[in-house]
Structure 1
Amino acid sequence: MNVSPAMATPSLLEIALFYAEAGVDEVIGEVPVDRTVAPPPRSPAATEAVAAGAGRPAAGATPARGAVPPMAMPPAAPAAQQALLSVQAVESAASEAARACRTVPELEAAIRAFEGCALRATATNTVIARGNPQAPLMIIGEAPGRDEDAQGLPFVGESGQLLDRMLKAIGRDESNVYISNILFWRPPGNRDPSAEEIVACRPFIERLIELVQPKVIACAGKHSAATLLGATGITRIRGRWHEYRRGDLVIPAMPLLHPAYLLRQPGVKREAWRDMLSLAEKLEELK
């Protein structure tokens, strides 16, 4: 029996990230406590023990019924909380490393040295960017594929070749475009990026945008648009102008259908061409 993605059970990390975004920052126990109900009365023996500051019972002594151990150890943190703490530590380390970089070469070196993303262990190469970092247009995809992992450059496989042809049609090439991804290592089997992998890489791609400061950003694919723009539903939002905002930095940004999607669904190339024309018009306006 096939299970649709909508019915798949979320991972502990996805649950923890949802809790964090919802403002849940403390986990007390697995059973909810109704604090509107008065607690049961203490037994006389327990009351006397607490009032007297009793410590541990003497060896061989029998504790009074209802007595509460004065130094009971708290329960172990649930797995979801532990996963959340781990993700937060990785994000903090990535953010600190990214902030310390003042140039694109420094940032590239920091990305290559970063060990907080598990994908690094299975990837052949670290894939960061290609093109001109001084270009007015920055295209940000999702993750390296097989060819990108082999060559160490983004968008060099079949979908990358299609992207190059699309850019050429509006007068763009590596001299006036800068191309990267939200992930710098290939997910095994070209699967979708996981939440923890995006968290580990996001501070670096955000710092790369800050250093390059393009005039226009194109987010190729649903994961890129969701990560950088907070926009979901790529077939609905594609071709619509958004704003990438981080601090004082505000950049016009457009979600695009990923070239790999166009290879699978050639019937939507008409819409993709209209989006490319819109990009060209915006770049002309901002000259």
Structure 2
Amino acid sequence: MNASASHLDPAELAALLHFYADSGVEWMLEDAPVDRFAEFAEQQAARANRPPLQTPAAQGAPQQQAGDTSAPPSPSPQAKVLPGRAPPPPRPSSTPVAIPDDQAIAAARFAADGARSLDELKVAMEAFGGCNLKHGARSTVFASGNPSSGVMVIGPMPNADDDRDGMPFSGRQGQMLDRMLSAIGLSRETVLLANAVPWRPPGNRTPSPAEMEICRPFIERQVVLAEPRLLLLLGNFTVKCLLGGDASIFSIRGAFRDVTLGQLTLPALASLHPQDLMAAPANKALAWQDLLQFKARLNEIQAEI
């Protein structure tokens, strides 16, 4: 049964709009359905039946003789330029130039490797234009938190809240992560938070393999520059990006694996993303087991320092 927005109280309406935003809905619809296909067909028919326009030049031009199949000469572009005036410059295109994937990956690697600090890397990412995801996103979502904490938590890609706030793990998913970290004595101020992909995909879709490869150098460089001692990887996409393979998060979670980035090798624990816990609260028991393992390993590392 459909419900009109006028029947909702303010809290219900706010929740509905929040749901639409998380789902990638960015345009309001008409009150009644509109058949755009029929509307387009009518416009095409109207154009076909419209008589050709007679310009003054065409009206004064001599008529083509019968049997003459040669096309009338077309006016040169210079003929439209007034004497003493230079021709107008070409109008710039507003459409971003498409870059082949292999060139975009190489450009991303070059930009990432050239950064000598997290601040430099952030500037490089904000200036990078080789990933089509950036053209539709509002923000470049960079790492936030404490880079010297020794703990780095990485999620998949920004959602609508992250894109709006310009920070990873915002909104309801961020609140769930706050509770997860608090349960083991951590907080977003005492760890470094990041996303494997820094730009929100349209409609919160999963990035394509090419988009993942273009963004991979940036998250790898964030890890190398932060030099954490322990990684917490949340969600299927994050694990695939940094560990490789096609294993499900439910089959790979709860076990430490090494992530090797150049000369740096780090222990990483894969676990469920906050969205997995919100969609199925029964998953909280699995996440809690993972967090306890993560806390135990962190205690071991801190005891060695």
TM-score, normalising length from structure 1? 0.69
Aligned to 1:179: 193
Deviation at 1:122, TM superposition (A): 0.8
Q: How does 1:197-236 map to 2 (within 5 A)?
A: 197-231=211-245, 232-236=247-251
Q: In 1, Cα distance between the equivalents of 2:291 and 2:173? A: 16
Q: Is the 8 A contact 2:181 2:188 kept in 1?
A: no
- Matched to 2:186, the amino acid is R
Deviation at 1:218, TM superposition (A): 0.9
Aligned to 1:263: 278
Partner SS for 1:140: strand
Deviation at 1:199, TM superposition (A): 1.1
Greater C-alpha radius of gyration = 2
Deviation at 1:268, TM superposition (A): 1.2
Q: In 2, Cα distance between the equivalents of 1:249 and 1:190? A: 32
- Matched to 1:278, the amino acid is Q
Identity of aligned residues (%): 42
Q: In 1, Cα distance between the equivalents of 2:156 and 2:261? A: 19
Q: In 1, Cα distance between the equivalents of 2:194 and 2:165? A: 14
- Note the residue ranges of structure 2 that are not aligned, 5 or more in a row: 1-98
Aligned to 1:103: 117
Deviation at 1:89, TM superposition (A): 0.7
- Matched to 2:243, the amino acid is L
Deviation at 1:174, TM superposition (A): 2.5
Aligned to 1:125: 139
- Matched to 2:269, the amino acid is M
What is the aligned length?
203
Aligned pair partner of 2:267 in 230, 252, 258: 252
Aligned pair partner of 2:173 in 138, 144, 159: 159
Q: How does 1:1-287 map to 2 (within 5 A)?
A: 86-231=100-245, 232-287=247-302
Q: In 2, Cα distance between the equivalents of 1:238 and 1:193? A: 21
Aligned to 1:71: none
- Matched to 2:111, the amino acid is A
Q: In 2, Cα distance between the equivalents of 1:98 and 1:199? A: 13
Q: In 2, Cα distance between the equivalents of 1:154 and 1:238? A: 21
- Note the residue ranges of structure 1 that are not aligned, 5 or more in a row: 1-84
Partner SS for 1:139: strand
Name the Cα RMSD after superposition. Answer: 1.1
Q: Is the 8 A contact 1:170 1:277 kept in 2?
A: yes
Runs of 4+ in 1 over 4 A off after TM superposition: none
What are the superposed Cα offsets for residues 204-256 of structure 1, whole Å, 9 maximum, x if unpaired?
11011000010101111111101101142111111111000122211000111
Partner SS for 1:286: helix
Q: In 2, Cα distance between the equivalents of 1:105 and 1:206? A: 15
TM-score, normalising length from structure 2? 0.65
